[in-house]
Amino acid sequence: MVSALDQLYQQVIMDHAAEKHGSSPVTPSDTSSYQVNPTCGDEVTLAVTLEGDTLADLAWQGQGCSISQASLSMMNDLVAGKSLAEVEQLWNDFDQMMHSRGLELPDEVLDSLEDAASLQGTYKFPNRVKCALLGWMALRESIAKTQARQEHE
């Protein structure tokens, strides 16, 4: 039997997978990141715009399962307009949740992740953890590439 909370989490995931917050055309460049999950074929191309140490904007285009698409949408809502230090903390919180293996997480971690906390049960399906992390991997790589390019300009 599925609990009311599990049903709510499933609905949040399906809503984000359908709405895809932040999804828009991305022109691949030397600062964008293309990531693919060879296990299931999920893929994303993601690009960021940095203004100083702030993630001013991000755009992503992807396809795949509802977990990967919802995670990208939720990530977009979490990180847009945040400082790079805040983005790094959100990454750490999300990564901790994805690898929690059912261990209880502090409320402040789950609260910081907002809708993304609905992906907490993904740890039960190791192949799906990769789906949930795909966009975060692209985000981290695109930030690193963009910073490296800015240092050489």
> In whole angstroms, what separates CA 65 from the centre of its chain?
14
List, in sequence order, every beta strand (DSSP E) within the chain: 33-36, 43-51, 54-63
> Given this model, what pLDDT does residue 16 score?
94
> Given this model, what pLDDT does residue 91 score?
98
Residue pair 131/37 in contact by the 8 Å Cβ criterion: yes
What CATH number is given for 4-151 in this structure?
A: 3.90.1010.10
Q: Show Cβ contacts of residue 58 under 8 Å, excluding neighbours closer than 6 positions.
A: 22, 46, 47, 48, 49, 76, 79, 80, 139, 142
> Given this model, what pLDDT does residue 124 score?
87
> Given this model, what pLDDT does residue 127 score?
87
Tens place of pLDDT for every residue, the chain, 153 residues?
556 657 777 889 999 999 999 999 999 999 999 999 998 899 999 999 999 999 999 999 999 999 999 999 999 999 999 999 999 999 999 999 999 987 889 999 999 999 999 999 998 888 899 999 999 999 999 999 999 999 988
CA angle at 19 for the pair 5 and 82, rounded to the nearest 5°: 85
The predicted model scores a pTM of 0.93
